[in-house]
Amino acid sequence: MSAPRLLGGRYEVGELLGRGGMAEVHLGHDTRLSRPVAIKMLRSDLARDTQFLNRFRREAQSAAGLNHASIVAVYDSGEDHAIETGGASVPVPYIVMEFVEGRTLRELLNASSPLDPAEAARITEGVLDALAYSHRMGIVHRDIKPANVMIGPQGQIKVMDFGIARAVADANATMTQTQAVIGTAQYLSPEQAQGHHVDARSDLYSTGCLLFELLTGRPPFQADSPVAIAYQHVGQPPPRPSTLNPAVDPALDAVVLHSLAKDREARYQDATAFRADLQAARLGRPISDAARGTAGSAADATVAIATPVGAAATTVFAPTGGYDDPPEPVGSNTASLPAIGHDPDDEPRKRRGLAYFLLVLAVLGALVLLGVAGKALLDRPPTDAPKVAVPAVIDLPQAAAEAKIRAVGLVPEATQVASSKDIGVVVDQNPGADEMVADGSKVGISVSAGPDTVELPDLKGFTQDEATARLAALDLKVGAVKQVDDTGLDKGKVFTTSPAAGEEVPVGSAINLNVSSGKVTVPDVVGKTRNEAADILGELGLSVKTTYVDSTEAENSVLKQSIKAKTKVEDGSTITLTIAQPPPPVQTPTTPPTTATTEPTTPPTTSTTVPTITP
């Protein structure tokens, strides 16, 4: 049995978990930390492009900086080497991610769809939580779809593949390419479909498509080719979800339609607003006026051009493995227009149908020609137009970076982003260093505005697990854990934190916990009053018993304690205090008063003659 493939001298590559248009995902094992991981390796044909490699490395670093409970964590990234036919070695980037038990939304939908509206809303709220955080950190996902959302065993939501889609999108990949569709066609925003600039609102459109499918069991647009689907994203309004699932109420209809506005300025402007309306709809509360207005206008909209699904038997624009979720065939869930010529009594409708058919073919043909022309232009040798190399400005102060960019004839464009780096330092640039661009081109630089901060809550009395969960909910993590004595708390309860409760700390910070060891150092309370001693010992979690002895010391003072001071005892131990009480008064025996006795004086003897009486 051969040894498992090892990446970075650390990660064993195991069984294949999934395969997509851009990468393969394997179960892996981190031999250093002895934990399961997921390993995603990019296709070798994408890895041959130096420009793509540079951007992928940069995006892998950005993704690794995302620390949120609803985002699959990125642990590490690196490069392996694949040997091609002919012996050439090609670097293959990989990303090591958190391995999440559970299943994807795609698997859930395949097993049971549509979902209950309340559950669909709850899941989407979790996705929006992740996007709100990533957008604050300056990262746009660009490929939100059911296959990129995991549901854990306890129902927790995890969004994955941050950074990878952005790296591809930054390589100027659009729907006009003939070799791959960037992003899944059913969830592309109109601006992505047209090859325009993508921002956070593009993710919100894709999330609206995902919510639509959770509610109805199908994406908002379906056709037999990615280009036809993209065309619908650009020019055709979506149906109300309630027309496909009567359990969807009007408020939820309105939220979905607002998220699917063609013009990004008419959509939700941030994930927080989207989530607030979605939660309000789920709880039966009023939604925003903007969402209600969009619902009304979408209902009354007139479609200028409709793409007849299935009009052409041949897929005009066929990607080679460009999207993970294949388009559904015309039939069960796909609305097909009447075939041309099937109604001999309605010549006007025949002519309109033929006109639409020809117009759609013309539009699709034009898109193909544009794609071919764009490919040809990209493949042409460089012309004589002046080109300059983009300077490296990452880690420079903003002023120095802008001066360096202007010095070579380029135009800096600065954007403030949350970052753990010093305020005012450039943390990212696009295009990357040493890329050749036309003279006068714009160079985007992301400048650190400092990290987002949160107020640290008071965790005193929480168990360590409870404190860890509270911190994770605030995008904070546990740092060092120290056992401390004399807390007055049960063993394992948090006593204090560092930084202290109430302080503002950067998102992603490690918070040190001082946790009760359950041990108490007995204090010296001899000489204290009974009440003082009882209070001191009680605050330390010790029990008190008292015994009293007669003493000439101050009344109620502690004469002795049963456990010596500075002794370590378990929380709740009992200490007996000997308390002074005044002795009873001394009882002196009572002596009766002494009385002087005078002996009577014997009177002098007198001779008395008693006369004799003779009868």
Residues 113-161 pLDDT 10s: 899 999 999 999 999 999 999 888 888 888 899 999 999 888 899 998 7
Residue-level pLDDT at 338:
31
Percent of the chain with pLDDT over 90: 38
According to CATH, the topology of domain 105-331+347-379 is Transferase(Phosphotransferase); domain 1 (1.10.510)
Give the separation between CA 172 and CA 371, rounded to whole angstroms.
Answer: 13
Do 387-448 and 453-517 come out as alike in CATH topology?
yes
pTM of the model: 0.50
Mean pLDDT on 316-345: 33
Statement: residue 177 has pLDDT above 60: no
Phi, psi of 189 (to 5 degrees): -75, 160
Statement: residue 307 has pLDDT above 70: no
- Measured CA to CA in angstroms, residue 31 lies from 28, 34, 469 at distances of 9, 5, 27
Q: DSSP state, 492? A: T
Alpha helices by DSSP H, listed for 260-397, are 271-283, 289-300, 347-379
Residue-level pLDDT at 167:
41
| CATH dotted code for 387-448 | 3.30.10.20
Amino acid of residue 393: V
Give domain limits for the chain: 1-99, 105-331+347-379, 387-448, 453-517, 521-581
Residue-level pLDDT at 476:
86
- Categorize the per-residue pLDDT at 303 as very low, low, confident or very high, splitting at 50, 70 and 90: very low
Phi, psi of 41 (to 5 degrees): -115, 130
Tell which CATH architecture fits domain 521-581: 2-Layer Sandwich (3.30)
Mean pLDDT on 73-95: 78
Residues 354-412 pLDDT 10s: 455 455 555 555 555 555 444 444 444 444 557 899 999 999 999 999 999 999 999 99
Statement: residue 261 has pLDDT above 70: yes
Mean pLDDT on 343-363: 47
CATH classification of 453-517, choosing from 3.10.580.10, 1.20.1250.20, 3.10.20.740, 3.30.10.20?
Answer: 3.30.10.20
Residues 544-588 pLDDT 10s: 999 999 998 999 999 999 999 999 998 888 999 999 999 888 776
The residue assigned the tokens 């080719």 is 225
Residue-level pLDDT at 337:
29
Statement: residue 327 has pLDDT above 70: no
- Categorize the per-residue pLDDT at 290 as very low, low, confident or very high, splitting at 50, 70 and 90: confident
Q: In 105-250, at which residue ranges do the beta strands (DSSP E only) sit?
A: 149-151, 157-159
Active site residues: 143
Residue-level pLDDT at 411:
92
Mean pLDDT on 244-256: 95
Closest by alpha carbon to 55, among 361, 428, 385?
428
According to CATH, the topology of domain 1-99 is Phosphorylase Kinase; domain 1 (3.30.200)
